[in-house]
Structures are given as C-alpha cells and as structure tokens.
Amino acid sequence: MTSFRFRDDAEHDEPALAIESFLLDPEAGAVRLEPGDDARALLPALDRLRLVEVAFPTFRDGRGYSVARILREAGYAHELRAAGDVLLDQVVLLRRAGFDAFASRAPLDEARVTAALARFPYVYQKAADARTPVWALRHG
Amino acid sequence: MYRYDGYDQAIVDARVAEFRDQVERRLAGELTEDQFKPLRLMNGLYLQLHAYMLRLAVPYGTLSSAQMRVLADIARRYDRGYGHFTTRQNIQFNWIKLDDTPDILALLATHEMHAIQTSGNCIRNISSDQFAGAAADEIADPRPYAELLRQWSSMHPEFTYLPRKFKIAVIASDSDRAAMRLHDIGLLLKRNEAGALGFAVYVGGGQGRTPMVAPLIRDFVPEGELVSYLEACLRVYNRYGRRDNLYKARIKILIHEMGAERYAREVEAEYEGLRALALDPPAAELHRIQAMFAPPPFEAGLADTLDRSDPDFAVWADQQVHPHKQPGYASVTVSLKPVGGIPGDATADQMDVMADLAARYSHDELRVTHAQNIVLPHVRKADLFAVWQALDAADLAVPNLDLVSDIIACPGLDYCSLANARSIPVAQKIAERFADLDRQRDLGEVKLKISGCINACGHHHAGHIGILGVDRKGEENYQLSFGGSGAEDASLARIVGPGFSEDGVVDAVETALETYRSLRQPGERFLDTYRRVGLDPFKAAIYA
C-alpha cells in the first residue's frame, strides 16, 4: 500500500469506523464510508470528525467524488482520504473533488503523482480545490 | 465559430500529452487493459471487431472548412480513405492503430479539435440543432450555451466516473431537429413571462434497450444558473444511479424507478445548496462566447428567388434546401446517403469538396446532422446552382433528405463487437428497393432507422419505421416497428409482430409503405396515417 498526504497537520491516529458505528459512538472522530453510504448522514457529527476515509473498491465507481465535494461544501476541513483502488490516472480529479490524502492498494510512484498533478495548467470548472477556473481568469 | 484562446489550447494540449503517456504505459504493460479501457474510451478510442475505432468530437456539430480538411487528412493518413459521421454529430474512423492515436490527437489539437469524452461513462459531446444560427425559428443561437457546457463538462472532477454515459442536447426552437427528448438531458432555450432567457430541462430520455422520452423536470432555469442546476441533476444521478447492472445504469432508469417528481425534488434540494457556491461562469463569459457566434457578414438586399429552369436542380433544391433567417440565403443539406452507400460515410475527397464549398459559399462553416448528413448553413440562394453542380460531381447531390432512403443506421455487425446483426446491408437493400426517387418523393417523409442490436445506436425506437437486428438461433432476424419520432412530437416506436429475414424485412417495409399510400389522407405522412389508423391495417397487409 502507498500513502500520500497533502496536509501539514499531524495524521489523526484513530481507526476509522463504519458509518453505523461512528454515528453511535459520540467519542469517535474517524469514519470510513463505503460507496453506498450517505455522506450527509455525517453532517450532524461534523464537529467531531477528524478523518474521513472513502473506499474505492474499484476506481470505476465514482460515487466517492460526490462524497468528497458534499463534505467539503459542508465545511469539513480535516483529512479526506481516498482508499483502495486509487490509481495514478484518477489522482487529478480526486484532488479537485476535495481529497487530500490517498491510500492506494497498489504502489503509486510519488514523482509520477507530482507530475500528474502538475500536468493541466488550467481547469474549466470550480470544484472543491483552490484552483481558479479559466472563466474567472478570463474575466478577472 | 468558437476559437480557442490560450487557456483552451493549453488544456487540450495537456490532454494529448496525458493520453500519450497513458498509451506508453499501456504498451509497456504498466496499465492493465481494465485500467486503460476507461482512459482510452474518454479519449475516443473504442475497440471494435477488427480494429480500434477513434471517435472525434465535433462540438455541437459545427466545423470550419480547415477542420473538415483535417478530417480528410486523418482519413487518408491513418484510416482507409473515409470516415463515418455519427448520430451524435461526431465522426469516427474505423481502422485506427493504437500507437497512432496520440499523433492523431496532436494533429487535431493544432486545429482546435479533440476527442475528449466522446466515449466512456462521462458527459459526452454536447449536441445541438444543425441549423443553429441560421434557422428562422430559433430564439437565439443555442451553440454558445453548448460551448459553455463543453467547457464545464470537460474533465469534470465529480462527473467523470458516472454509472453510465451521459448525453446532453441543447436546442432553441420548438422544432426539434436534435432528438432533444431522447437525451439524458435535453435543454430547450426559452423566454419566461418576464422575457428572460433560460431553459426548460428534460431529464431521463434515451434509447438503448429501455427507450424513454424524457419528462420535463424543471420548466425554467435562468441561463445564468444553468451550470449549477446541471451539477444538481448530475449529482443526484452520480449518487443514486444504479451501478449493479450495466443495463440499468442510465439516468432514465433511475428516474423511472424513483419517479420524475421525486427526482425533481432531490435535484431542487441539491440546487439550493449548489447555487450558493457561484459555480456558474459570469454573464461576461457567455457574452465572450456569443461574440464568436455572431452572424457572419450576410449581404443585405439579396433576392429570395431561385432560378428553377434546370429540372434536376429544382428537384434537389426542393428537397435539400432549408429556409434561412437572412433573406436571399438558405441552408443546404448534403446527403451522405447515396443508393448502395453506407449511411453517414464520406470519403476524404468528398470531405475536401465539402470543405471547399464551405470556404467558398458558406462563410467557412459546416455542420454535422444527427441524421448523419452534412449541412452548409449559410449559402446565398444565387450560389445554390453552383453548389449543386459541385456536389453532383462528387456524388453528394442525392435529393433524398427525410425520404425513405435517408436512413440512419448503426455500423452493425460489419464493425461493431456488440452487434447481433448487420445494419448496413439492410439499409443498402432498402435504398435499392426504393431507388426510384419519384417513388420516394411520392411516399414523402419517412424516417427509417436501423440498429444492429438492442443498444439502439441506429435510433430504431425513434424511427417512423424502425428496424432492429437480433440474433435468433444463430440467424440474423429483423424486428419491425412503427410510430417512433425524435422530433418535437417525440414518441417511441411499437413492434409490429414477428421478425423477418434480411430480404423479408425489405419486403415488409415496402408493403407497409404501399399500405400507407392506399390509406393516406391529403397531407398525411406515413407517421400521421399510422397514428390515425393504428397498427392493424399495416399488420394485416404485412402478415397476409
């Protein structure tokens, strides 16, 4: 497994619970979402959340991208980790959707990840990252 | 026409470099075929029966003559001298080598073209009305909105791994020439009571094995909130669309299962949150794009008359010429449906002829139609005769627009690995059976559409006459259906009865059209007569 983190804070060291267990445990700060889980069920517990791990059993299942944006739109600012079948060719979109950590089942080369993230000089749309869409660049 | 600025060019160039790297990693064995497949599909590369097929995007069907010449160049250098225009206004090349594709995409990028998202489970090329910017009945040119959506949907961070493919059409007149309601999202530009521009949004149409006509989900979305609203539509689909069964993964199934009203409520809830995020480009961006679609410098004061002294020209002009909003001008549809040909195919030389005609006579513009023909949108009426002569010399002047030989057909078993039966030979036999153009004209408008499997790429559900090829115990068998329409009176065709052999279905079509001739009332098309009298008289004649 290869892990990357695009955060400066210390890693939150707590096992991630399944959503049902997390919601029942008022002390828990880490949750793991499976593709069918409703990210919005976490919103009442946003204050205590420190780590959200989103499972990608296969890279082709794109529900996790909506999970990430929903949590970021709701103000969640702690670690958001994509875990599982996380591959080089999806990291750009995962970052844009709001993920700031990867835990990839297969080896991921750091230099290639860095190169992939630098590849597109501009983006067309506003998303959960800080990148400015070209329409904003065009019109100030 | 839209022109790339430095931002667009840099993004498309980066995409070419990315795909070059992906192809290299695939050839080096670093990517498995399973990992590579969605990547190549999202760059237009499809694996067919005999070779790779490369589908290039023609955004909203609009091409310059220089771009058309690039397509001819690709046909000559990388394919077998021809290309195939598709029902989504794109073009595909059927004999492409994997290791040539990065070079082809790089060549396209030098002419402001790409193959981004022409396949795969993502938002596909945005389609539109082939007469956009020329039709007298449009509220405004729909293409600036389509371009805005092209940019929004390209490499979208949330909607690139959807449950299934996603097709959007944008039109701006009550006459629907783009089969808008048979798309995942159909957008109809309109004015509200206050006179503001916005869109009626239809969601959940589609063909395939479960055809649906899209229901109206919102009567009016202001033009400045279109992106936010579409984000909401897509997010509900991305979260709840089925991923357990490939055949139930389109948004039409989600809406059918949850109901249009509940889907609309879910979208409204998302929209409330998303519109606060200022996701829409400012009006200045729409205006920037609209400026590039400003009408070409038409000559004023031209006569609206036509010299009809050549009878062959008069026949062609009556069939192929569409009224233009500018007096003295017309839009020409170039038929890619010659008798014996493959519907939608054009040779490299024919592409060059059309490019030359566009440069000389049509303000440098061409359009691809969803019925797989080409349009020269802005031709002076005084030039029509010269255009006709040049087309005729290139075997492009068949006057059969909307007649029975103007067939939409999928590539079928001749090319496609999904197909159960051949489509092209059936289209050719029908065109040959009705080769007499006087007979075709007498039969009037007949939209005949052929698919070689239930995925319905040949739009058979939307055919006045639809033909579906199936495999029955190892034999090709053809089911006939009547009563479909992809126009503003959208409807789905109904199966007539037991299927036919290849020759049998040609006979059945002929019997049906002769039955129509005996039953029709003045002014009725085949579709109108069918809708009035129902299936029974046709069925009785066909199975007699």
Residue B322, domain CATH? 3.30.70.3340
CB contact under 8 A, B281 and A60: no
Cα A43 to Cα B108: distance, rounded to the nearest angstrom: 46
Question: Among B489, B455, B19, B490, which Cα is nearest to B207's?
Answer: B455
Q: How many Cβ atoms are within 10 Å of B103's Cβ, its own excluded? A: 15
Rounded to whole angstroms, the Cα distance separating B133 from B143 reads 8
Which domain does A51 fall in, by range?
2-139
Distance from CA of B170 to the nearest CA of A (A): 20
pLDDT attached to residue B217: 98
CB contact under 8 A, B158 and A87: no
Q: What is the mean pLDDT of chain B?
A: 96
* Residue B74, C-beta contacts closer than 8 angstroms, at least 6 positions apart: B56, B83, B93, B104, B107, B108
Tell me what ipTM this predicted complex has: 0.98
Q: Where are the beta strands (DSSP E) in B86-156?
A: 91-96, 127-128
Which residues have C-beta within 8 Å of that of residue B474, sequence separation ≥ 6?
A: none
CB neighbour list of residue B264: distance below 8 Å, 6 or more residues apart: B217, B218
- Give the residue from chain A lying closest to B286, CA to CA: A135
Q: Give percent of chain B with pLDDT exceeding 90.
A: 96
* Residue B173 covered by a domain: yes
Res. B509: pLDDT tops 90: yes
Last residue of a domain, one of B393, B423, B458: B393
**B411 phi and psi angles, rounded to 5 deg:** -65, -30
The domain that holds B286 is classified in CATH as 3.30.413.10
Q: What is the distance between the alpha carbons of residues B432 and B429, in angstroms, rounded to a whole number? A: 5
Residue B129 lies inside a defined structural domain of this protein: no
Do the beta carbons of residue B124 and residue B57 sit within 8 Å?
A: no
Judged against a pLDDT cut of 90, whether residue B262 lies above it is answered with: yes
What's the number of domains chain B is made of?
4
Q: What is the mean pLDDT of residues B92-117?
A: 96
Which residues does A73 contact at the CB level (< 8 Å), separation at least 6? A128, B273, B274, B277
Q: Which two tokens stand for residue B14?
A: 């980066």
CATH code: domain of residue B21: 3.90.480.20
Question: How sure is the predictor about B453, in pLDDT bands with cuts at 50, 70 and 90?
Answer: very high
Structural domain containing residue B315: 311-393
Cβ of A43 under 8 Å from any chain B Cβ? no
Best mutation target, B148, B239, B242, B285, to test chain A (most A CBs within 10 A): B239
Q: Which residues pair with B403 in a beta bridge?
A: none
SS3 B432: helix
Task: Give the integer Cα–Cα distance in Å for B46 and B40.
Answer: 7
**Last residue in a domain, options B65, B84, B109:** B109
Q: Does the pLDDT of residue B180 top 90, yes or no?
A: yes
> Do B389 and B432 sit in the same domain of this protein?
no
Q: Residue B329: CB partners within 8 Å, gap ≥ 6?
A: B134, B298, B302, B378, B379, B380, B381
- Count of Cβ atoms closer than 10 Å to residue B37 Cβ: 17
Specify if B417 maps to a domain. Answer: yes
User: What are the tens digits of pLDDT across the range B381-423?
Assistant: 999 999 999 999 999 999 999 999 999 999 899 888 889 999 9
Burial of B301 (0-12, 13-18, 19+ CB in 10 A): exposed
Burial B495-509 (b: 16+ CB within 10 A, else e): ebeebbebeebbebb
In this structure, the answer to whether residues B84 and B151 fall within a common structural domain is no
Report the run of H or E that residue B321 belongs to, with start and end.
strand B321-323
Residue B49 in this model has a pLDDT that exceeds 90: no
pLDDT at residue A140 tops 90: no
pLDDT reported for residue B48: 83
Contacts of B23 in chain A (CB under 8 A): none
Q: Tell me phi and psi for residue B310, to 5 degrees.
A: -85, 115
B229-259 b/e with 16+ CB inside 10 Å = b? bbbbbbbbbbbbbbbeeeebbbbbbbbbebe
The answer, for A122 touching chain B at a CB cutoff of 8 Å, is yes
Residue B60: inside a domain: yes
Shared domain check, B374 and B434: no
Residue contact B5–A138, C-beta within 8 A: yes
**In this structure, are residues B453 and B421 in contact, taking their beta carbons and an 8 Å threshold?**
yes
Which of B290, B323, B347 represents a domain boundary (last residue)? B290
Q: Is A65 on the interface with B (CB under 8 A)?
A: yes
Q: Give how many domains chain A has, as a whole number.
A: 1
- The answer to whether residues B420 and B528 belong to one domain is yes
Chain B residues whose CB is inside 8 A of the A126 CB are 277-279
Cβ contact B7–A65 (<8 Å): no
- For residue B416, the model assigns a pLDDT of 87
The half-sphere exposure of B18 on its side-chain side, counting CA atoms within 13 A, is 27
Residue B149 has pLDDT above 90, yes or no: yes
DSSP assignment of B322-339: EE-SSTTEEEEEEP---T
pLDDT at B51: 86
Distance CA B281, CA A126 (A): 9
Residues of B with CB under 8 A from a CB of A: 5, 7-8, 10-11, 14-15, 17-18, 22, 31, 35, 38-39, 121, 151-152, 154-163, 227, 235, 238-239, 243, 273-274, 277-279, 281-282, 284-285, 288
- Over the Cα atoms of chain A, what is R_g? 15
* Strands annotated E in B445-502: 448-451, 465-472, 475-482, 494-495
Q: Which of B15, B239, B274 sits opposite A63 (nearest CB)?
A: B239
Nearest to B159 by CA among A65, A19, A116, A106: A65
Q: How many CB pairs under 8 A join A and B?
A: 104
- Shared domain for B166 and B263, answered yes or no, is yes
Contact with chain B for residue A40, Cβ under 8 A: no
C-alpha span between B465 and B512 (Å, rounded):
9
3-class SS letters over B47-106: ECCCCEEEEECCHHHEEEHHHHHHHHHHHHHHCCCEEEECCCCCEEEEEECHHHHHHHHH
Mean pLDDT, range A48-60, rounded to an integer? 98
Q: How confident is the model at residue B256 (pLDDT cuts 50, 70, 90)?
A: very high
**B45 plus B105 within the same structural domain:** yes
Q: Are residues B440 and B519 in the same domain?
A: yes
What pLDDT is attached to residue A60? 97
Residue B387 and residue B449 in one domain: no
User: What's the pLDDT at B218?
Assistant: 98
CATH number at residue A92: 3.40.50
User: What's phi and psi for B307, nearest 5 deg?
Assistant: -80, 110
**How far is residue B540's CA from residue B461's CA, in Å, rounded to a whole number?**
22
- Residue B415's pLDDT is 86
| Euclidean distance between CA atoms B48 and B413, whole angstroms | 10
